Amino acid sequence: MDYQFREIEQKWQKYWAENQSFKAEANSEKPKYYVLDMFPYPSGAGLHVGHPLGYIASDIFARYKRLKGFNVLHPMGYDSFGLPAEQYAIQTGQHPAVTTETNINTYRRQLDQIGFSFDWSREVRTSEPAYYKWTQWIFMQLFNSWYNLETDKAEPISTLIHKFNEAGSADVKAACDEDTKTFLPTDWATFTEEEKQAELLKYRLTYLKESTVNWCPALGTVLANDEVKDGFSERGGFPVEQKKMMQWSMRITAYAERLLQGLDTIDWPEPMKEMQRNWIGKSVGASVKFKIERPKTEDGSPQTGAGGLENKTSDIGHRTSDYIEVFTTRVDTIFGVSYLVLAPEHEWVAELTTPEQKEEVEAYIAQTKKKSELDRMADAKTVSGAFTGTYVINPVSGERVQLWIADYVLAGYGTGAVMGVPSGDQRDWLFATHFGLPIIQILDSQKDIDQQADPTKEGKYINSGFINGMEYKEAVAFLNQWLEEQGVGKAKINYRQRDAIFGRQRYWGEPIPVYFKDGLPYLLKEEELPLLLPEIDKYLPTETGEPPLGRAEFWKYEDKYEYELSTMPGWAGSSWYWYRYMDAQNNSAFASKEAVDYWKDVDLYIGGSEHATGHLLYSRFWNKFLKDLGFVQEEEPFKKLINQGMIQGRSNFVYRVNDEQGKPTNTYVSYGLKKDYNTTALHVDVNIVENDKLNIQKFRAWRPEYQDAVLILEDGTTSSPTGGGQEGAYVCGVEVEKMSKSKFNVVNPDVLIAQYGADTLRMYEMFLGPLEQSKPWNTNGIEGVFKFLRKFWRLFHNEAWEFTVSDAEPTKAELKALHKIIKKVQDDIERFSFNTSVSSFMIAVNELTDLKCNKRAILQDLVVVLAPYAPHICEELWSLLGNKDLSTAQYPIFNPNYLVEDEFAYPISINGKMKMNLNLSLTLEAKEAEEAVLANDQVQGFLNGATPKKIIFVKGKIVNIVV
């Protein structure tokens, strides 16, 4: 029987499912290996050919590791909460759970037919209550923890309360809010319960605080920075503005240094690690306090700002009533400060704006709200700002400097305030030049500062008071000590990273297990988990602007306390899911200690680089937290990470002819002739194009407007719907673009599997190029891979397609061909070079075909080597060879002796003319070789009775007979 791939693939997919062939147990004596794909979101569109690329690679590796004797965990599930299902629910009124289930069913069908070796007994879905119960539970552990800087780890909040009871707050070193109180244990004892809870909230690892967020009115929710691009939401492309809201946040900043240090311990792509380093943004510098100068009114009292600030004495926010604190990495330039800048959204802008400047400042703030933070950081050329009318005093020089606001300063970075040093920073120089502010030279080596800034650290300081004459290192050390002695600053390490917003004003997400009493948040009891999503009438905010959960009737804790109405963000459920795979059915813990102790961490993680500063950072944060509390063993969750490249679409075009007035006609000219016409390129469905030639009949049936189209073909003939023209070729244009439905270049794997089979698709996706590189999809070459598999099948069958193998001893040549591919594939898979293996398989099968090899000893090992790539055909052949369960087979052991060259095909020449090749042992010396050559009948035929005068023998090279 010829290669019947459809029947073979359906047979073995059914077998694997019924026998749970890839189910992993946590009690094996084999070494463990955990292979994981990034959690997919099940979209309604299903998979296109770009999606399985990483899954195929991870599956090859998982199957290979099983053959190498490892106990492999290779699970799959769905990140099933999220915006798309909710947007669809808003449009149709259908519950998101319904569309999510439909989408998952499509994904599962498509994944199954590609033949992945997933352990489906461990499937998880983030939107299932049995799963999100534990996401809520982790939230509760974070709420009940604080970060102790002395032990450099998270600890239960009870240990902090103990410190407050014993010694007050004086000696507490914690990652916490800036406005914590200073109190004695006797003070703590007098605090009311509400006062204690309000103070503890400033220390908790998840907390409520007013924050500046990315608010998307069209989506009705807050978005993370990585969900915003160029001021618009990635999902839907809606405008995003900056807005202050009371939000849940996670204190990821407490882990900034550990997140940085951990990058040196893991095998990740260097660009990915660098993205995280830049996002965390460690800076070594100093914090400096600039005293606010308060203008006096006519009666001599301090003037209040436009917002009505009184002369308060308590610490509030990032500054006291008297000082603005600035973080700088160049404290040595402090004598060159000519202005100070606050972020427009800084909480004290209104209070520090004088009545005269109020209108200008408010207009500037309104303008800033239209930009995302990423846009503001990226735009280094546009100079803008507004003077508040207030002055501050430089603590080292006593000089008055103006206080401005400008959108290049962000409230969340440092203190939300920066000092402007125009002589040493180009951005500051542009600002000062634009607004006519002083530019002060501070180093004798600075040059041309009237033309541009000079950031040098070389030379000696001038115009710099008590550090004049010093050089950089001496000046920095002296200033840091002086600032601390004077109580106006100190050396400090700062991080660009901000605490992670942990709330979305949406319905389709995990409910936050919190209720409010007297305006303060309290946790549910653990036994009350999961807090289920309530039913609501529609999935929109309430008429009063509350999140959709505000629509739930009679949804209160103990029938009297309001629940939190925001839900968790999309990254919540994906920040710990790899642990749930270890013990997916556990009802009493997120995973048992035994399972976690056995599987430990993910050995190989494959997924997209777009998750660098989102999922991958949050996952590392949650993992470190769970380790601190003793729930997991490992500091880092993912030992090795590979970012697969994107498979891009290969678009095809037809060329519509325009008339003399430029108006479109219904005539289309082939690619090679379009230069002779005025044309417009139009995308055409790639599924009706083969080898860039348009299927004319399918084109006319594709869309109504093409039904009557006239096509000018490549040879100049015409094809019309009424016939009468030669049916030659219409050649389409080609362009590589992102795969998208709007470009009609999406290739559905279902179509290719139906035509060529899953094994062909798997091998072809690997064949396209290196896993990490992006590459265009081109179906034109898939036929070659299909022919290879058919040729491989042919090795096991005779001319009548009857299964026939021989038990004869293999030849040296056959063993050499086999062991070359054993070694090659082993090396390729170990270094994740899957594409080079595919071409090597083709070479090996060609060699064995030429050798007419049908030896069991050769073909049985070849089946095992190919199995990770093409599992269905190999399972069938393994079975025909009389074996059972290929997944339990052993990868063949490479024997280098079979690759040792002990023979050479010597070119035999007579009088310098090459006549033939003759295999001779490489151990033969000249006399023995000459005798062997002359004993050969074919050589004697060429000599035709002549006696050689001389024989020239070059070992391993040539034999030349002179007659």
Over residues 815-852, the pLDDT tens digits come to: 999 999 999 999 999 999 999 999 999 999 999 999 99
**For 621, what's the count of Cα atoms within 13 Å in the CB-facing half-sphere?**
30
- Residues linked to residue 806 through DSSP beta bridges, in sequence order: 855
Q: Which residues make Cβ contacts (< 8 Å) with residue 12, sequence separation at least 6? A: 115, 871, 872, 875, 876
Task: Kindly write down the DSSP assignment for every residue of 350-384, as one continuous string.
Answer: HHHS-GGGHHHHHHHHHHHTTS-HHHHHH--S---
Q: Residue 41 to residues 93, 100, 288, 408, 578: CA-CA distances in angstroms?
A: 21, 9, 46, 35, 15
Nearest residue to 6 via CA among 879, 877, 872: 872
pLDDT-derived band at 305, boundaries 50, 70, 90: very low
- Can you list the alpha helix ranges (DSSP code H) found in 569-614? 577-582, 593-599
* 180 C-beta neighbours (distance < 10 Å), count: 14
Burial class (CB within 10 angstroms; exposed 0-12, middle 13-18, buried 19+) of 804: exposed
Q: Residue with structure tokens 């500063």?
A: 613
d(CA 310, CA 352): 11
- What would the two tokens of residue 526 be? 């653990």
Q: What is the pLDDT of residue 762?
A: 98
Range 132-146 average pLDDT: 98
Mind listing the pLDDT tens digit for each residue in 25-49?
A: 988 889 999 999 999 998 888 888 9
d(CA 500, CA 424): 33
DSSP letter, residue 956: T
How far apart are alpha carbons 430 and 435 in whole angstroms? 9
Looking at residue 311, what is its pLDDT?
34
Burial of 714 (0-12, 13-18, 19+ CB in 10 A): middle
pLDDT band at 696 (very low <50, low <70, confident <90, very high): very high
Bridge partners of 511?
567
Phi/psi of residue 31, each to 5°? -65, 145
Angstrom CA distances, 276 to 53, 273, 602, 638, stand at 25, 5, 19, 15
**Which pLDDT band, with edges at 50, 70 and 90, does 500 fall under?**
very high
Task: Round to whole Å and give the CA distance between 689 and 152.
Answer: 61
CA distance 525 to 507: 23
Q: Where are the alpha helices (DSSP H) in 28-147?
A: 52-67, 83-92, 96-114, 129-143
For the chain, give the mean pLDDT: 92
Which of 912, 918, 913 lies closest to 939 in space, CA to CA?
918
Examine the pLDDT at 317 and tell me if it is beyond 50: no
Position 724 scores a pLDDT of 54
Tell me the sheet residues that pair with 918: 906
pLDDT tens for each residue of 525-558: 999 999 999 999 988 888 777 899 999 999 999 9
Of the pLDDT bands very low, low, confident and very high (cuts 50, 70, 90), residue 320 is very low
Distance CA(96)–CA(208), nearest Å, equals 28
DSSP state of 230: T
Read off the pLDDT of each residue in 933-961 and give the average, rounded to a whole number: 92
Task: Report pLDDT for 904.
Answer: 83
pLDDT band at residue 726 using 50, 70 and 90 as cut-offs: low
* Stretch among 225-229, 461-465, 586-590 having the lowest mean pLDDT: 225-229
Number of H helices, E strands in the chain: 28, 37
- Is residue 449 within 8 Å of residue 372, measured between CB atoms? no
C-alpha separations of 323 from 416, 529, 803 in Å: 13, 46, 88
How far apart are alpha carbons 960 and 929 in whole angstroms?
12
What are the angstrom distances between the C-alpha of 850 and each of 285, 845, 854, 865, 910? 71, 9, 11, 20, 29
Is there a contact between 383 and 416 (Cβ–Cβ < 8 Å)? no
656-682 b/e (C-beta count within 10 Å ≥ 16 → b): bbeeeeeeeeebbbbbebbeeeebeee
Structural tokens at position 20:
């749970």
pLDDT tens-digit series, residues 151-178:
999 999 999 999 999 999 999 999 999 8
pLDDT in tens, 203-238: 999 999 877 777 888 877 777 666 777 778 877 888
CB within 8 A of 340, min separation 6: which ones?
A: 290, 324, 326, 392, 401, 402, 403, 404, 417, 418, 419, 420
Return the pLDDT at 226: 64
Distance, CA of 361 to CA of 403 (rounded, Å): 12
User: What SS3 class is residue 719?
Assistant: strand
Rounded to 5°, the CA angle 455-272-636 comes to 115
The burial class, CB within 10 Å (0-12 / 13-18 / 19+), for 566 is: buried
Q: Is residue 258 within 8 Å of residue 147, measured between CB atoms?
A: no
CA distances to 106, 355, 775, 780 from 736, in Å: 28, 57, 9, 14
Alpha-carbon gap, residue 624 to 633, rounded angstroms: 9
Angle at Cα 627 formed by Cα 626 and Cα 631, nearest 5°?
65
- C-alpha gyration radius of the chain: 36
Q: What is the pLDDT of residues 798-809, one digit of tens each?
A: 999 999 999 999
Listed residue (140, 146, 171) closest to 160, CA to CA:
146
pLDDT reported for residue 609: 87
How many Å from the N-terminal Cα to the C-terminal Cα in the chain?
A: 56
Closest CA to 522 of 558, 576, 570, 554: 558
* Tokens found for residue 189: 């004892």
Q: Which of 194, 430, 214, 179 is nearest to 321 (CA)?
A: 179
Strands (E) located in 693-838: 693-694, 710-712, 718-719, 733-737, 775-776
Residues 439 and 454: their CA atoms lie apart, in Å, by 11
Provide mean pLDDT across the span 623-646.
Answer: 97
Backbone region of residue 468 per phi and psi (left: phi > 0; alpha: psi in -120 to 50; beta: other values): beta
- pLDDT score recorded for residue 315: 31
The answer to whether 343 and 411 have CB atoms below 8 angstroms apart is yes
DSSP 375-436: HHHH--S----EEEEEEEE-TTT--EEEEEE-TTS-TTSTTSEEEE-TTT-HHHHHHHHHHT
pLDDT band for position 88 (cuts 50, 70, 90): confident
Task: Please say if the pLDDT value at position 312 is more than 70.
Answer: no
Q: Which residues are within 8 A (CB) of 397 and not within 5 positions of it... i.e. 6 or more apart?
A: 334, 335, 465
* CA dist., res. 959 & res. 898, Å (int): 26
> How does pLDDT run across 381-402, given as a tens digit for each residue?
789 999 999 999 999 999 999 9
**Long-range CB pairs of 834-839, under 8 A, 24+ apart, other chains included:** 834/57, 834/60, 834/766, 834/771, 834/869, 835/766, 835/767, 835/768, 835/769, 835/770, 835/771, 837/766, 837/869, 838/763, 838/766, 838/767, 838/785, 838/869, 839/767
Place 297 in a pLDDT band, splitting at 50, 70 and 90: low
To 5 degrees, how large is the angle CA 879–CA 17–CA 830?
A: 70
The whole-angstrom separation of Cα 960 and Cα 909 is 5
* Residue 201 identity: L
Query: Whose CA is closest to 148, among 176, 129, 120, 125?
Result: 176
